Amino acid sequence: MANDENVNQISSDDPAAASLVAAIRAGDVGSVREVVAREPDLASARLTGPRGGSETSLHVVAGWPGYYPNGPEIALLLIEAGSDVDARTTGRNAADAGETPLHWAASNDDVAVARVLIDGGADIEAPDGSIGTPLENAIGYACLGVARLLVERGAEVEKLWTAGALGMLERLRDLIDDGTFGPEDVSQAFWHACAAGQRRAAEFLLGQGADLNWVPDYAQGMPLDAAQGGGTQQENVMTWLRDLGAESSAST
């Protein structure tokens, strides 16, 4: 293993690294434990891809599509073996600050893995994810399970759109009373409230002047369209069922 700024790096094609990744994705706790015991530095190492980007073994556990078998147990095992809960991915582009494993678990709505990461000391306010903090990633990708967990663990709700998606009426009132948000912010919060099925929050925001047909520049559809969308957990299960050959009554 090479050493770069005191961080071990190993190619993802290395047999030991490939074995670890395969065991994580298969949910094989015994094999993960065996590989880490045989290669003590592997849990904390950066796994580098052919294009130079890197991630850690904890990113693999939390990575798309998430919900790997025994993911929480494996995440705990890796943390105890020295994997950094706040390590960031590297190499996607020069301006990208990278994402932590918690950003990834938040983007998959893998609540159980997110809980292990938080219990292991992960920074719940880590900035600069693909959308922002883990909370902003969770809400932006319709991952309300992890979003609620993050709020329970103390994540700050400082934006109208996050409060709207979570249906936090009192927080919405407080933020609007502060007078720092404009009409566009109110409409954005309304859109996210509708997308998350938060009717009371949506009614409140409509009363505050939200545009009934506002469309964000980062998603498709008006609030009515957003209200009909499925969340990440549902999409994950549907993809899994389709891969298994499950049929829909709508197609028979």
Q: Which of 93, 79, 73 is nearest to 24 (CA)?
A: 73
pLDDT of residue 6: 57
Q: Label residue 251 by pLDDT band (50, 70, 90).
A: low
For residues 20 and 239, what is the distance between their CA atoms, to the nearest angstrom?
Answer: 25
pLDDT in tens, 152-211: 999 999 999 999 999 999 999 999 999 999 999 999 999 999 999 999 999 999 999 999
Task: Report the pLDDT value the prediction gives residue 4, as an integer from 0 to 100.
Answer: 43
Q: What is the mean pLDDT of residues 14-25?
A: 96
Q: What is the pTM assigned to this prediction?
A: 0.90
> What number is the average pLDDT over the span 2-14?
71
Alpha-carbon distances of 76 from 71, 166, 199, 200, rounded to whole Å: 9, 28, 38, 38
8, containing H or E segment: strand 7-11
* CA-wise closest residue to 183 among 213, 210, 216: 210
What integer is the mean pLDDT of 13-33?
96
pLDDT for residue 151: 98
- The answer on pLDDT for 130 being more than 90 is yes
Q: What is the pLDDT of residue 60?
A: 97
In 3D, which of 210, 206, 226 has the Cα closest to residue 218? 226
Is residue 136 predicted with pLDDT exceeding 80? yes
- Which residue intervals of the chain bear CATH 1.25.40.20? 7-156, 157-232
For residue 29, give the 3-state DSSP assignment.
helix
Give yes or no for residue 3 having a pLDDT over 60. Answer: no
Q: Confidence class of residue 237 from pLDDT cuts 50, 70 and 90?
A: confident
Provide the CATH topology of domain 7-156. Answer: 1.25.40
Report percent pLDDT > 70 for the chain: 94
Q: Which of 177, 178, 114, 125 is nearest to 149 (CA)?
A: 114
Per DSSP, helices labelled H in 81-159 are 101-108, 111-119, 134-140, 144-152
Q: What is the pLDDT of residue 2?
A: 35
Give the chain's mean pLDDT: 92
**Average pLDDT for residues 35-54, to the nearest whole number?**
91
Residue 8's pLDDT is 87
**What pLDDT does 95 receive?**
61
> What top-level class would CATH report for the domain 157-232?
mainly alpha
The better pLDDT of the pair 197, 95 is held by: 197
Query: How many contiguous H segments (helices) and E segments (strands) does the chain have?
Result: 14, 4
